[in-house]
Amino acid sequence: MGDVPANLSSPSGQQRPRETTPSAGRDRAARPRWPSARHYAALDLGTNNCRLLIARPQGKDGFAVVDAFSRIVRLGEGLAASGRLSDAAIERTISALKICADKLKRRNVTLARSVATEACRRASNGPEFIERVHAETGILLDIITAEEEARLAVLGCHALLEPGDGPALVFDIGGGSTELVLLDASEPVPRVRAWHSAPWGVVSLTEAHGGGGSPAARADAYARMRRVVAEAFAPFADRIDDGGTGHRLLGTSGTVTTLASVHLELTSYDRSAIDGLIVPSAAMRGVSERLSRMSLEERGQVPCIGRERADLVVAGCAILETILDLWPAERLGIADRGIREGILRRLMNGRVA
């Protein structure tokens, strides 16, 4: 891939970077003039979420998180029908980005990169939105390609792949698209063998094919979502060899972290319990099928889903099950890390893009 490998934690026992929030005294002592105390930032604006990570280098290749922010903004809401970012979605997003801008200033960030993905790639008013964000927040968003989005996600999470010699598939279920990356992970720095971006994420798939009030209607909608996702994955399926054994699978997205939380029956989200978790694929299928049969109200009462995610989680389940059909791994690795961590790796190793 040409990227410097990330020294991130893995289920095999590698040291996990400790996430800390410095005390006010230590934060005042951290001045940008000291290289070891420089603060770097990565902002990922997706179709559904706005996420910021601010960190400082720690150890040889690691980093310690000093601040973070995440908010569901649904920037891509209604995009499939109108082809534009709506006024309401833009206002929600700019409100979140103003919080990010304030954090960037208060933390004396030395170097930052802010990226936008599928919603801004597809929206006819995407460039206009980027200009308004810059004018109102000072944040300059870079609309990246689907390929770069996939590579950044891999760079940020590949260290969580299970040890082994078999082929590995990393996927990122977003709000407006899903990225699939086939890796040759036999070397310390995985090599990308093939990648694919499908135009279905939890927002776009829900708006186009979701719904269903009765149990029969919900089953029909779920089958329809599975079918259209499989069609979108078909070109990638034709290019990969899914024969043999030893398949490894790693997912990075709100979908997999949420479903893993449901699998563990957590009452509230706990990153320390989820990031690096290995779950039997059959168990994740079971969770997906169970959620797909629930009504919107029932899903909203499930801890770690709630009303905020209840309408979108079924689309994520459909995408995940289709990936499991495509790549018959016995276990699924869960990563609560991805694009932001990939950006930080590049920044800290002297690469802006």
Domain boundaries, the chain: 24-147, 161-335
187: pLDDT confidence band, cut at 50, 70 and 90?
confident
Task: Tell me the percentage of the chain whose pLDDT exceeds 90.
Answer: 77
Q: Which of 252, 262, 254 is nearest to 316 (CA)?
A: 254
Helix, strand, coil shares of the chain as percentages rounded to 5? 45, 20, 35
pTM (two decimals)? 0.85
pLDDT of the residue at 139: 97
Q: Is 80 exceeded by the pLDDT of residue 351?
A: no
* Fold of the domain spanning 161-335: Nucleotidyltransferase; domain 5 (3.30.420)
Considering only residues 246 and 130, tell me which one the structure prediction assigns the higher pLDDT: 130
Length of the chain: 353
Question: Per-residue pLDDT averaged across 175-181, rounded?
Answer: 96
Tell me the pLDDT tens digit for each residue of 56-94. Answer: 999 877 899 999 999 999 999 999 899 999 999 999 999
Amino acid letter, residue 132: R
Q: Is 90 exceeded by the pLDDT of residue 40?
A: yes
Q: Is 80 exceeded by the pLDDT of residue 12?
A: no
Give dist(CA 299, CA 231) in Å, integer. 27
Same CATH fold assignment for domains 24-147 and 161-335: yes
Say if CB 87 and CB 81 are below 8 A apart: no
Give dist(CA 33, CA 313) in Å, integer. 45
Give dist(CA 228, CA 201) in Å, integer. 12
352: pLDDT confidence band, cut at 50, 70 and 90?
low
Q: Is 60 exceeded by the pLDDT of residue 205?
A: yes
Q: Is 80 exceeded by the pLDDT of residue 30?
A: no
pLDDT of the residue at 191: 86
pLDDT of the residue at 242: 61
Instruction: For domain 24-147, give its CATH number from 3.30.420.40, 3.40.50.80, 3.10.180.10, 2.40.50.140.
Output: 3.30.420.40
152: pLDDT confidence band, cut at 50, 70 and 90?
very high
Question: CA geometry: angle at 192 spanning 203 and 335, to 5°?
Answer: 50
What is the edge-to-edge ordering of all strands in the sheet holding 39-45?
Answer: 62-72, 49-58, 39-45, 109-116, 141-143
Q: Is 90 exceeded by the pLDDT of residue 135?
A: yes
Amino acid letter, residue 293: R
